[in-house]
């Protein structure tokens, strides 16, 4: 597909973007406790989970990277990101 549109791409009449999204999650806790099996071991843990969604695009022709952070990977944010890409690139 790219080869058949090479002239259009190189003349910048056709834009090719490699688009993806990434959901980062941090704050997870994994742990082990050693003790007597007949005694309960209680450990108070506050497991706050923070997350961040990033949408990104790479311009195929010039390699320019565009990244934008959003509060979640929801449909409305996906659409908003595409609209922002269009506005940036025109």
User: Over the stretch 18-66, which tens digit does the pLDDT of each residue have?
Assistant: 999 988 777 555 555 566 778 776 655 554 567 788 999 999 999 999 9
For residue 63, being part of any structural domain is answered with: yes
Q: How far apart are CA 60 and CA 57, in angstroms?
A: 9
Distances (CA, A) of 11 to 2, 14, 90: 13, 8, 15
Higher pLDDT, 26 or 79: 79
Its pTM surpasses 0.75: no
For residue 5, being part of any structural domain is answered with: no
| Residue 66 lies in domain | 16-89
Q: Count of domains in the chain?
A: 1
The confidence band for 75, taking pLDDT boundaries of 50, 70 and 90, is: very high
């Amino acid at each position: 597909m790219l080869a058949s549109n090479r002239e259009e791409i190189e003349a910048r009449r056709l834009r090719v973007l490699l688009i993806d999204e990434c959901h980062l999650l941090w704050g997870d806790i994994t742990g082990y406790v050693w003790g007597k099996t007949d005694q309960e071991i209680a450990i108070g843990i506050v497991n706050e989970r923070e997350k961040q969604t990033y949408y990104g695009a790479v311009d195929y022709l010039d390699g320019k990277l565009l990244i934008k952070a959003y509060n979640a990977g929801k449909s409305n944010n996906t659409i908003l990101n595409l609209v922002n890409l269009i506005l940036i690139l025109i």
